[in-house]
Amino acid sequence: MPELTRRRALVAGAAVAAAGGLATQAASASATTSPSAAPASAGMMPGHDHGEPAPFDEVYRGRRIEGRPTAGGHHGSGYGVFIDGVELHVMQNADGSWISVVSHYDPVPTPRAAARAAVVELQGAPLVPFN
């Protein structure tokens, strides 16, 4: 086996990074084109010009999740999401998807989906207020 040099290590590292990037792009493309993916407008209030999300209040996996329009809101969204009464900071992306402080790198189509994803990610732990 040839001796490992700095150049060979860098070339191998670049190849692994490029392959990982291509795999991520392929997975992202298949996720956005899959027929099971919900459209960004799902869960929006009918009859509203701004595509405001519909309010919700439910128990999901034993946790109470709520979403409703608020005055102002974090990042100017004007929509608040709460888990067991504690605000989960959410933000709507330019493409209409939503992210939260708990699942920041996993965009979802609605604030309800963001709340559910946060409950799953928390695994029963309490949501700590974010100041």
100 within some domain? yes
Q: Which amino acid, one-letter code, is at 3?
A: E
- Around Cβ 40, how many Cβ atoms within 10 Å? 18
Which contiguous run of DSSP H or E holds residue 34?
none
pLDDT (tens place) for every residue of the chain, 131 residues total: 567 777 777 677 676 666 666 555 555 554 444 434 444 444 544 434 456 899 999 999 999 999 999 876 555 558 999 999 999 999 999 999 999 999 889 999 999 999 999 999 999 999 988 76
Q: Mapping DSSP to helix (H, G, I), strand (E, B) and coil, where does residue 79 land? A: strand
Work out whether the CA dihedral 68, 66, 43, 28 comes out positive or negative. Answer: positive
37 within some domain? no
104 within some domain? yes
110 within some domain? yes
User: Do residues 27 and 74 share a domain?
Assistant: no
Range of the domain at 8: 1-32
pTM greater than the 0.75 cutoff: no
* Token reading at 118: 């946060």
